[in-house]
Amino acid sequence: MNQEKGFVYPVTLLMCMLILQVLIYQVSLYLTEKQAVYEQERLMQIETLLQLGISDFLNGEYDPVLDKKILFSYPNGTVTLSIETYLHDISNISVKANLETGHERIAGFQYNWSNKVLDNYWEVS
Protein backbone atom coordinates (compact mmCIF):
# COMPACT_ATOMS: atom_id res chain seq x y z
CA MET A 1 0.00 0.00 0.00
CA ASN A 2 1.01 3.48 -0.77
CA GLN A 3 0.75 5.76 2.25
CA GLU A 4 1.13 9.22 0.79
CA LYS A 5 0.27 12.14 3.01
CA GLY A 6 0.08 15.02 0.54
CA PHE A 7 -1.43 18.38 1.24
CA VAL A 8 -1.24 19.99 -2.21
CA TYR A 9 -4.37 18.39 -3.68
CA PRO A 10 -6.74 19.27 -0.78
CA VAL A 11 -5.37 22.81 -0.61
CA THR A 12 -5.80 23.17 -4.37
CA LEU A 13 -9.41 21.96 -4.11
CA LEU A 14 -10.07 24.38 -1.26
CA MET A 15 -8.59 27.30 -3.22
CA CYS A 16 -10.65 26.38 -6.30
CA MET A 17 -13.83 26.25 -4.23
CA LEU A 18 -13.08 29.63 -2.66
CA ILE A 19 -12.41 31.19 -6.05
CA LEU A 20 -15.60 29.63 -7.41
CA GLN A 21 -17.65 31.02 -4.51
CA VAL A 22 -16.20 34.50 -4.98
CA LEU A 23 -16.96 34.28 -8.70
CA ILE A 24 -20.57 33.19 -8.08
CA TYR A 25 -21.02 35.99 -5.54
CA GLN A 26 -19.67 38.58 -8.01
CA VAL A 27 -21.97 37.32 -10.77
CA SER A 28 -24.91 37.56 -8.38
CA LEU A 29 -23.98 41.15 -7.49
CA TYR A 30 -23.62 42.01 -11.17
CA LEU A 31 -27.05 40.62 -12.04
CA THR A 32 -28.67 42.46 -9.13
CA GLU A 33 -27.03 45.72 -10.20
CA LYS A 34 -28.06 45.13 -13.81
CA GLN A 35 -31.70 44.66 -12.74
CA ALA A 36 -31.56 47.84 -10.64
CA VAL A 37 -30.20 49.83 -13.60
CA TYR A 38 -32.94 48.41 -15.84
CA GLU A 39 -35.66 49.43 -13.37
CA GLN A 40 -34.11 52.88 -12.94
CA GLU A 41 -34.13 53.34 -16.71
CA ARG A 42 -37.82 52.38 -16.86
CA LEU A 43 -38.54 54.80 -14.01
CA MET A 44 -36.85 57.63 -15.91
CA GLN A 45 -38.69 56.72 -19.12
CA ILE A 46 -42.09 56.72 -17.44
CA GLU A 47 -41.31 59.98 -15.64
CA THR A 48 -40.36 61.57 -18.96
CA LEU A 49 -43.52 60.18 -20.53
CA LEU A 50 -45.65 61.77 -17.78
CA GLN A 51 -43.92 65.12 -18.21
CA LEU A 52 -44.35 65.02 -21.99
CA GLY A 53 -48.04 64.16 -21.75
CA ILE A 54 -48.80 66.89 -19.24
CA SER A 55 -46.74 69.40 -21.21
CA ASP A 56 -48.59 68.54 -24.43
CA PHE A 57 -51.89 68.92 -22.60
CA LEU A 58 -50.92 72.33 -21.21
CA ASN A 59 -49.77 73.51 -24.65
CA GLY A 60 -52.93 72.30 -26.41
CA GLU A 61 -56.45 73.67 -26.57
CA TYR A 62 -59.04 71.35 -25.07
CA ASP A 63 -62.61 71.74 -23.87
CA PRO A 64 -63.53 70.78 -20.28
CA VAL A 65 -65.81 67.86 -21.13
CA LEU A 66 -66.43 65.36 -18.31
CA ASP A 67 -65.06 61.84 -18.84
CA LYS A 68 -63.20 63.01 -21.93
CA LYS A 69 -60.05 61.02 -22.59
CA ILE A 70 -57.09 62.63 -24.30
CA LEU A 71 -54.48 60.22 -25.65
CA PHE A 72 -50.89 61.06 -26.54
CA SER A 73 -48.73 58.42 -28.23
CA TYR A 74 -44.95 58.46 -28.10
CA PRO A 75 -42.31 56.03 -29.39
CA ASN A 76 -41.88 54.27 -26.02
CA GLY A 77 -45.45 54.45 -24.68
CA THR A 78 -48.72 56.30 -24.29
CA VAL A 79 -50.19 58.87 -21.94
CA THR A 80 -53.94 59.07 -21.30
CA LEU A 81 -55.47 62.09 -19.59
CA SER A 82 -59.02 61.85 -18.28
CA ILE A 83 -61.10 64.81 -17.12
CA GLU A 84 -62.73 63.51 -13.93
CA THR A 85 -64.61 66.53 -12.54
CA TYR A 86 -65.46 70.05 -13.63
CA LEU A 87 -66.70 72.64 -11.13
CA HIS A 88 -66.30 76.44 -11.20
CA ASP A 89 -63.79 76.32 -14.06
CA ILE A 90 -61.56 73.83 -12.19
CA SER A 91 -61.12 70.19 -13.18
CA ASN A 92 -59.50 67.18 -11.59
CA ILE A 93 -57.54 65.42 -14.30
CA SER A 94 -56.03 61.96 -13.96
CA VAL A 95 -53.02 60.93 -16.01
CA LYS A 96 -52.00 57.37 -16.81
CA ALA A 97 -48.64 56.69 -18.46
CA ASN A 98 -47.94 53.25 -19.94
CA LEU A 99 -44.62 52.06 -21.30
CA GLU A 100 -44.44 49.41 -24.01
CA THR A 101 -42.71 47.20 -21.44
CA GLY A 102 -45.88 47.16 -19.31
CA HIS A 103 -44.71 49.60 -16.65
CA GLU A 104 -47.41 52.02 -15.57
CA ARG A 105 -47.70 55.15 -13.46
CA ILE A 106 -50.78 57.10 -12.45
CA ALA A 107 -50.78 60.79 -11.60
CA GLY A 108 -53.27 63.60 -11.39
CA PHE A 109 -53.69 67.29 -10.89
CA GLN A 110 -56.20 70.11 -10.67
CA TYR A 111 -56.43 72.36 -13.70
CA ASN A 112 -57.87 75.87 -13.79
CA TRP A 113 -59.30 76.32 -17.28
CA SER A 114 -59.59 80.11 -17.17
CA ASN A 115 -56.02 80.74 -15.95
CA LYS A 116 -54.55 77.60 -17.59
CA VAL A 117 -52.75 76.76 -14.34
CA LEU A 118 -51.86 73.29 -13.06
CA ASP A 119 -52.21 72.83 -9.29
CA ASN A 120 -52.09 70.04 -6.65
CA TYR A 121 -50.03 67.52 -8.61
CA TRP A 122 -49.87 63.96 -7.21
CA GLU A 123 -48.45 60.60 -8.33
CA VAL A 124 -48.97 56.92 -7.65
CA SER A 125 -46.48 54.36 -8.94
The domain locations on the chain are: 8-124
Closest alpha carbon to 98 in 33, 67, 52, 65: 52
Question: DSSP state, 89?
Answer: T
End-to-end CA separation in angstroms for the chain: 72
Arithmetic mean of pLDDT, 85-102:
91
pTM: 0.74
Per-residue model confidence as pLDDT tens digits over 32-75: 999 999 999 999 999 999 999 999 999 988 888 888 899 999 99
